[in-house]
Amino acid sequence: MTRKNDEVPVKTMSAREIIDMLNEGWILRGDIDGHGPFGLFDPYAPAGKTEPSPMIDAEVVRQFRDAGLLMEATEYPPQGKIRCYRLNSAL
């Protein structure tokens, strides 16, 4: 059986590109303890006008979190194991 996340191609982005998108206000969404990729979404995009979400490897997100670069985006309540993260505003 193939899990849905196994079928999603992970976009290759540099750490700098990801940080730049987070600095623009984009949000990472996914399961920090899981193996599936995280999605990046633009919370300022008009409803129905969003482009497909780039998918970021969960290991990259864990490295950012462990380095103190991310904080939980509390305006987006957790949905089960799924959490949202934004760039740490204290940096």
Could you give the number of structural domains in the chain?
1
Walk along the chain (91 residues) and give the pLDDT tens digit of each residue. Answer: 344 555 555 556 889 999 999 999 999 999 999 888 999 988 888 876 666 677 899 999 999 999 999 999 999 999 999 999 999 988 7
Q: List the domain range (segments joined by +) for residue 51.
A: 4-87
> Who's near 88: CB < 8 A, 6+ residues apart?
68, 69, 70, 71
Neighbours of 89 (CB within 10 A): 6
